Amino acid sequence: MCPEGGGSGSLGKPGSPGSSSSSETRVCRFNGLKIACSNDYGNWTPSMNSWCQRAASQPPKSDPVWSGNSDGYIYECTRPTGELIPDPGQRYYRWLPDTEATPPDPEELAKEILASLKLDAPDMGMFPKGDSKEHMGLVGWHMWLWSEAPEDNQWGPVSASKSEAGITVTLTAEVDEVVWEMGDGGSVTCGKGKAWSSARTNGGQNVASPECGYVYEAMGRYTVTTTAHWDVEWSGGGESGTMSLDVTREAPMRVGEIQSVIVANR
């Protein structure tokens, strides 16, 4: 099992793409600095530059704090200190409409955008293709591996935005790397790689890929699996964050061996 190249013919069978894992990181900001998105004093409310939560006891509508409003609620808000922690001495009450005090969660909007993009894995490029006797790979032969992305959602960068209740979130996603698991226990991590061609291999000689390749050491039938690692960044509503998404494909690989024939002298 010998991976070639430092990174990152014929297309492998696409297989069934699917998410294998994802993770998220959310960040809220105040004056450009990171601040807790929520704590015991409520949720960070950018329009108030405070953490706000609905007051446990709602005063009568005749109370001046309502400012003549009949909808919404009275919220208890707490401003941050210079160290960006809640300052109980700067606690105040304020009427807020529900849409302002409980705005859409920017991270949830980002997740909705991410789902709408339907990010996929790139098509698998392999030479030899290896899915039949006529196209099988050979033990000791330098395989070329590459990714092809005819659609924007197969590699990126792809961007999209969504607005709700005055908050706009923008998200950008792009494949960072592709991990090729070759089915024999070996793997190689690549970028896009370069497609095999006769011109790049001196007319089809056993030449190693300059970017992404592999050499099988034993004949057999294998399943090659690629995992595309998407990096996702989003921002909006005074917050920003990152997410990651892994999408996979697989293709069959058949590896044979050249047999030497010895002919006796007569």
pLDDT one-digit tens code per residue, 111-136? 999 999 999 999 999 999 877 877 88
201 pLDDT above the threshold of 60: yes
- Host domain of residue 81: 47-101
208 and 89 co-located in one domain: no
- State the pLDDT at residue 14: 41
Residue 100 binned pLDDT confidence (cut-offs 50, 70, 90): low
Q: Distance (Å, rounded) from C-alpha 24 to C-alpha 263?
A: 65
Q: Distance (Å, rounded) from C-alpha 93 to C-alpha 65?
A: 7
Q: Distance (Å, rounded) from C-alpha 245 to C-alpha 252?
A: 24
The pLDDT tens digits for 24-59 are: 667 788 988 889 888 999 988 888 999 999 999 999
204 and 162 co-located in one domain: yes
Q: Distance (Å, rounded) from C-alpha 155 to C-alpha 192?
A: 9
End-of-domain residue from the set 101, 130, 146: 101
Tell me what percent of the residues of the chain surpass a pLDDT of 90: 66
End-of-domain residue from the set 101, 120, 144: 101
Q: How many domains does the chain have?
A: 2
User: Across all residues in the chain, what is the average pLDDT?
Assistant: 87
Output the 3-class SS for 68-131: CCCCCEEEEEEEECCCCCEEEEEEEEEEECHHHHCCCCHHHHHHHHHHHHCCCCCEEEEECCCC
Residues 97-127 as b or e (16 or more Cβ within 10 Å = b): eeebbbbbbbbebbbebbeebebbbbbbbbb
190 and 242 co-located in one domain: yes
139 and 242 co-located in one domain: yes
20 and 148 co-located in one domain: yes
Instruction: Answer whether residue 42 is part of any domain.
Output: no
Of 5-14, 22-31, 84-93, 174-183, the one with minimum mean pLDDT is 5-14
pTM: 0.68
Across the range 133-156, mean pLDDT stands at 93
Q: Distance (Å, rounded) from C-alpha 159 to C-alpha 174?
A: 9
156 pLDDT above the threshold of 90: yes
Instruction: Answer whether residue 33 is part of any domain.
Output: no
